[in-house]
């Protein structure tokens, strides 16, 4: 008996083949369910493989097949439940379809995003899903130039004809503001996100749409750009209060911004919704739990990820030449009225 190695070598296809008394080729065909292998040998090989607890080396397979069954995912902010849920949706459909995901977090930083994408390309992912920071179009152009299949999630570039799955931001914002107007509000503060963000741009339009439909003139002084964080909402309300602008309602870029806004409003002894109505956007699960429960625009976050992943897998599957005709998929938002408005 040989002295056992401290670290036993992994069992390879060669080991299985040898133990089963067949060629390595036959072993491969047997295990992969390929035709032209007798049931007898197939069964024998499978038995041996199971007994040896053989696991195919996906790295070798990936190299050989020029296909890794891996999707690259770069999200803008993993700590934000919105993106975490999107990622969850992506992961779920990927797993269901036999794909793994390599996840990167850009932290809303353009440089990190570009770096992440380069890494993913080096790792030969079959496709990439990305919620772009949108501080530049560099990432998208790089991917197109490299002919790497990709789809944008939650955000997209208006000028570029690239595959994307988004929420109907304009309609969602319009819905929310319309609701506020229906409640009798005419002076509606809008705490928006960063101006380069496509959702922010579109939600601003939705805000304007709703005003226009009600014959309320648009006043730029009522919109404040924030960094889309709760601290941004908090600061924006303080700023608004200090500046003396009058408002009876505030529509926010996200639930997070809402939470910050609500906190600032309360510190100013304003009651919600009696003194000021507040609506958010996203409908993260905490929105329904906090007090007052937040009126907000629901986005099917998990679904967003699932649909995007399916779209990407479709692009990968159809081995035809570059097909940019996949286009934009828009998911409908949904207003959910709770207690804050």
Can residue 230 be called a binding residue for its own copies (CB under 8 A)?
yes
Instruction: Find all residues with CB under 8 Å of 330, minimum gap 6, and list them.
Output: 166, 167, 168
Handedness of CA 56, 147, 301, 106 (dihedral sign): positive
Asked if 39 contacts 30 with a C-beta cutoff of 8 angstroms, the reply is no
Nearer to its own copies, 39 or 322 (CB): 322
Site for DNA in 9-48 (CB under 7 A): 9-10, 12-14, 21-26, 28-29, 31-32, 34-38, 40-42
Q: Which does 290 bind (CB under 5 to 8 A by kind): DNA, its own copies, none?
A: its own copies
Can residue 96 be called a binding residue for DNA (CB under 7 A)?
no
Q: Which does 24 bind (CB under 5 to 8 A by kind): DNA, its own copies, none?
A: DNA
Dihedral through CA 216, CA 222, CA 228, CA 230, nearest 10? -110
Asked if 70 contacts 94 with a C-beta cutoff of 8 angstroms, the reply is no
Q: Please name which of 292, 298, 334, 337 lies closest in space to residue 179, comparing C-alpha atoms.
A: 337
Number of H helices, E strands in the chain: 12, 12
Task: Please give the span between the terminal C-alpha atoms of the chain, in angstroms, as a whole number.
Answer: 78
Candidates 241, 290, 316, 337; binder of its own copies (CB under 8 A) is 290
Q: Please work out the total of residues on this chain that contact DNA, with binding judged by CB under 7 A.
A: 33
Tokens for 32, please give them: 């992969």
User: Shortest distance, CB of residue 18 to DNA, whole angstroms?
Assistant: 11
| Contact flags string 251-280 toward its own copies, x per CB under 8 A | --------xx-xx--x--------------
Between helix 230-243 and helix 255-267 the angle, nearest 10°, is: 40
User: Shortest distance, CB of residue 202 to its own copies, whole angstroms?
Assistant: 25
Can residue 285 be called a binding residue for its own copies (CB under 8 A)?
yes
What is the binding site for its own copies (CB under 8 A)?
A: 6-8, 55-60, 62-63, 68, 70, 73, 78-79, 81, 84-85, 87-88, 91-92, 95, 100-105, 112, 116, 118-124, 147, 230, 259-260, 262-263, 266, 285-286, 289-291, 302, 321-322
């Amino acid at each position: 008996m040989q002295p056992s190695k401290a670290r036993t070598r992994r069992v390879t296809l060669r080991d299985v083949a040898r133990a089963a008394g067949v060629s390595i080729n036959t072993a491969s065909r047997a295990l992969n369910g390929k035709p032209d292998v007798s049931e007898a040998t197939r069964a024998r090989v499978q038995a041996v493989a199971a007994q040896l607890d053989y696991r195919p080396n996906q790295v070798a397979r990936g190299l050989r097949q020029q296909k890794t069954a891996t999707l690259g995912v770069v999200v803008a902010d993993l700590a934000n439940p919105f993106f975490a849920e999107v990622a969850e949706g992506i992961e779920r459909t990927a797993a269901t379809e036999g794909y793994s995901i390599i996840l990167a977090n850009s932290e809303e930083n353009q440089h990190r995003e570009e770096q992440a994408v380069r890494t993913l390309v080096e790792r030969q992912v079959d496709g990439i899903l990305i919620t772009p920071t949108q501080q530049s179009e560099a990432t998208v152009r790089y991917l197109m130039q490299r002919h790497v299949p990709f789809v944008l999630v939650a955000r997209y570039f208006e000028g570029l004809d690239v595959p994307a799955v988004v929420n109907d931001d304009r309609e969602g914002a319009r819905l929310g503001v319309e609701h506020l107007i229906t409640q009798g509000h005419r002076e509606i503060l809008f705490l928006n996100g960063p101006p380069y963000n496509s959702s922010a741009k579109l939600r601003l339009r939705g805000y304007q749409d709703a005003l226009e439909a009600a014959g309320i003139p648009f006043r730029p002084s009522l919109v404040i750009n924030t960094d889309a964080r709760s601290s941004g909402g908090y600061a924006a309300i303080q700023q608004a209060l200090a500046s003396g602008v009058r408002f009876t309602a505030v529509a926010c870029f996200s639930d997070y911004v809402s939470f910050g806004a609500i906190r600032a409003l309360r510190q100013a002894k304003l009651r919600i919704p009696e003194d000021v109505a507040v609506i958010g956007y996203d409908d993260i699960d905490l929105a329904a739990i906090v007090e007052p429960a937040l009126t907000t625009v629901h986005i099917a976050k998990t679904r967003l990820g699932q649909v995007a992943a399916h779209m990407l897998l479709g692009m990968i599957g159809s081995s035809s030449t570059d097909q940019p005709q996949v286009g934009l998929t828009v998911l409908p938002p949904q207003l959910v009225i709770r207690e804050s408005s």
